[in-house]
């Protein structure tokens, strides 16, 4: 005791110091435990080496924060020259594998699909942001299997024909807006290009939103639902890159998103925004479809499925699955089909000879005054080859979607341990010079036989790498395939697309027009001019005659 009678015991640390210290200490213990478990004990029990990869710059964090996040498909393709078809590294506790070759992708993601079809999500933060309601982000579980089945029943090749009326209607409307665009006086050519990109988005999203929910949209940039669907895709895309999702599994990180005030923490703000945006995409159009259903109109996929469920006396879980399917379809279509259509325009401005050849084929097969319909597809091999080349030349998801292994895999003497995040480098696969001569060039002829017929080898849609692999292969691919083919055939039949530039000899660096992250799409089409091949009246007559041709 002091003379004043106060105790000499040290002051107790306050809770505001204890809680964060305990949090940081337990986080480090968790990291240390994971490292010891995975890298020391794991190695001892399995003598096989992990695949080659760059040395870890940090014992604890691995490559966390050091991996390329901007167009990383180029870096991994380049790194392939040193490490080969498999590149292996880790960030914190995640083991990550990037696959650069078609052969390894087939062996690991197709042949072993049973054990490589999980996703690296499903943590507390993913539940906080409701990512578990999105089929593309869901873990490999019974819930995913059931929603995927609902998806498959409605989007498989035979079912995709029910999308045809809306596809035809929206594509014809798009062509009409192109005529208006070509007539509108505009001093700045780039404004035309930007407007065109807006029309392309409206087309891609308009088809899915109308087919799934029966909702008409006029502009993808001005209306709440298409804007939210794109915003959700933008908010998610960084987590799809190799190493991009590691932070999501940091223990208790969801508490930070939940507790921290938005105005103080950017992280909390982004997570809440993601949750709200997803809730909007999942909730609002569903409410509208239900309103239409109550008023006796169920001319939408969701309306039709809900009324069938009611007739069967179906469950609340089935309603949830239908909601998940509808909202996932709208968010998955937001950037992907628009990306491929915009890439098609870029190809046309760079390769005018491709456009001329396709128009020659269309004019010969269709004859004068007829707009292409799905029935013409098998008679138009060159147009088919253009579509395939667009998907190869600039795939919409160049580094694919992350898969996760659920068992150890041994490939060519290497151990790929259970829990590894697997990314197929679709870009490296579709730009492999051993398989595609001059892969950087747009050459539709690579899909044709010498006599100009379409090469049988490529007929199956599953040969299109851009749609991904294994049990998680794009479930909307048949609908996307129809939309893209008809859009491309219709544009070629009715419009001339060309490039306007000051200097004709300027070599266009197209990469600078593409976005950097996982859902890679051009933000504009540099100096693009679109002119109708026919007069406005002729074109309108043509569209009128073709409007019921599915």
Query: Could you list the residues that contact ligand HEM (CB under 6 A)?
Result: 135-136, 148, 151, 155, 328-329, 332-333, 336-337, 340, 396-397, 400-401, 403, 466-469, 472-476, 479-480
Closest distance of CB 18 from ligand HEM, Å = 42
Closer of 27 and 159 to ligand HEM (Cβ):
159
> Nearest-CA neighbor of 354 among 491, 461, 168?
491
Query: Least distance to ligand HEM from the beta carbon of 521, Å?
Result: 10
Q: Which is nearer to ligand HEM, 136 or 493 (CB)?
A: 136
If the CB atoms of residues 359 and 405 are measured against ligand HEM, the closer one turns out to be: 405
Nearer to ligand HEM, 168 or 333 (CB): 333
Least Å distance, CB 522 to ligand HEM, is: 13
474 in a known ligand binding site = yes
Helix (H) or strand (E) holding 498: strand 495-499
Measured from the Cβ of residue 41, the count of other Cβ atoms closer than 10 Å reads 10
Q: How far apart are CA 295 and CA 234, in angstroms?
A: 35
Residues 6+ apart with CB under 8 A from 92: 31, 34, 60, 61, 62, 64, 246, 250
Task: Tell me the closest approach of the beta carbon of residue 110 to ligand HEM, in angstroms.
Answer: 10
Q: Which is nearer to ligand HEM, 228 or 366 (CB)?
A: 228
User: From the CB of 254, what's the least distance to ligand HEM, in Å?
Assistant: 22
Here the tokens at position 346 are 């870029």
Sole residue written with tokens 């691995």: 62
What radius of gyration do the chain's Cα atoms show?
26
Instruction: Tell the smallest beta-carbon distance from residue 148 to ligand HEM (Å).
Output: 5
The helix/strand/coil state of 36 is: helix
Taking the complex as a whole, the smallest distance from the CB of residue 379 to ligand HEM amounts, in Å, to 23
**Angstrom distances, CA of residue 235 to CA of 394, 468, 475:** 22, 21, 22
Tell me the closest approach of the beta carbon of residue 388 to ligand HEM, in angstroms. 12
List phi, psi (to 5°) of 43: -65, -35
Q: How far apart are CA 396 and CA 387, in angstroms?
A: 13
Task: Rank residues 74 and 252 by Cβ distance to ligand HEM and give the closer one.
Answer: 74
Distance CA 256, CA 83 (A): 38
User: 283-307: b or e for each residue (b if 16 or more CB lie within 10 Å)?
Assistant: ebbbebbbebbeeeebebbbbbbbe
* Helical residues (DSSP H) of 156-188, grouped into ranges: 164-183
The residue (of 150 and 195) whose beta carbon lies closer to ligand HEM is 150
Closest to ligand HEM by CB, 236 vs 542, is 236
Closest CA to 484 of 342, 347, 379: 342
- Pick out the residues of the known binding site for heme: 474
Binding residues: 474
């Amino acid at each position: 005791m002091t003379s004043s009678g106060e105790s000499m015991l040290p002051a107790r640390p306050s809770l505001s110091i204890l809680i964060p210290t305990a949090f940081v200490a337990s986080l480090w213990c968790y990291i240390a435990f994971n490292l010891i478990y995975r890298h020391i004990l794991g190695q001892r029990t399995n003598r096989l080496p992990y695949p080659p990869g760059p040395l870890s710059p940090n014992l604890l964090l691995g490559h966390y924060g050091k991996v390329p996040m901007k167009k990383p498909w180029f870096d991994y393709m380049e790194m392939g020259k040193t490490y080969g078809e498999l590149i292996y590294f880790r960030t914190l506790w995640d083991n990550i594998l990037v696959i650069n070759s078609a052969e390894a992708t087939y062996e690991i993601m197709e042949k072993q699909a049973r054990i490589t079809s999980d996703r690296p999500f499903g943590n507390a933060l993913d539940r906080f942001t409701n990512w578990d309601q999105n089929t593309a982000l869901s873990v490999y579980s019974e819930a995913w299997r059931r929603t995927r089945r609902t998806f498959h029943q409605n989007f498989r090749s035979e079912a995709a024909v029910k999308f045809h009326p809306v596809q035809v209607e929206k594509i014809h409307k798009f062509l009409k807006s192109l005529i208006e665009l070509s007539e509108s006086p505009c001093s700045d050519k780039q404004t035309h290009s930007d407007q065109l990109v807006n029309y392309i988005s409206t087309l891609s999203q308009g088809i899915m939103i109308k087919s799934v929910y029966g909702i008409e949209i006029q502009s993808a940039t001005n209306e709440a639902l298409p804007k939210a669907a794109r915003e959700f895709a933008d908010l998610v895309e960084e987590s799809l890159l190799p190493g991009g999702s590691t932070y999501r599994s940091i223990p208790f990180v969801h508490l930070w998103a939940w507790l921290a005030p938005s105005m103080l923490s950017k992280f909390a703000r982004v997570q809440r925004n993601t949750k709200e945006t997803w809730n909007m995409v999942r909730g609002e159009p569903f409410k509208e479809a239900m309103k239409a259903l109550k008023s006796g109109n169920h001319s939408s996929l969701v309306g039709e499925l809900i009324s069938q469920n009611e007739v069967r006396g179906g469950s609340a879980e089935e309603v949830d699955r239908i909601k998940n399917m509808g909202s996932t379809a709208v968010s998955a279509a937001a950037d992907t089909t628009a990306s491929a259509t915009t890439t098609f325009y870029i190809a046309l401005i760079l390769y005018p000879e491709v456009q001329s050849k396709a128009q020659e084929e269309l004019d010969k097969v269709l004859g004068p005054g007829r707009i292409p319909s799905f029935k013409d597809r098998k008679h138009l091999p060159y147009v088919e080859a253009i579509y395939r080349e667009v998907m190869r030349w600039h795939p919409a998801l160049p580094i694919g979607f992350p898969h996760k292994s659920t068992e150890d895999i041994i490939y060519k003497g290497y151990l790929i341990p259970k829990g590894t995040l697997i990314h197929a480098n679709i870009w490296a696969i579709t730009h492999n010079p051993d398989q595609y001569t001059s892969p950087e060039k747009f050459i539709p002829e690579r899909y044709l036989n010498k006599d100009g017929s379409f090469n049988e080898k490529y007929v199956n849609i599953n040969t299109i790498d851009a749609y991904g692999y294994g049990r998680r292969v794009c479930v909307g691919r048949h609908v996307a395939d129809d939309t893209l083919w008809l859009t491309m055939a219709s544009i070629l039949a009715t419009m001339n697309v060309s490039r306007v530039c000051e200097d004709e000899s300027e070599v266009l660096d197209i990469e600078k027009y593409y976005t950097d992250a996982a859902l890679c799409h051009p933000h504009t089409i540099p100096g693009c001019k679109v002119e109708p091949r026919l007069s406005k009246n002729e074109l309108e007559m043509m569209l009128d005659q073709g409007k019921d041709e599915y």
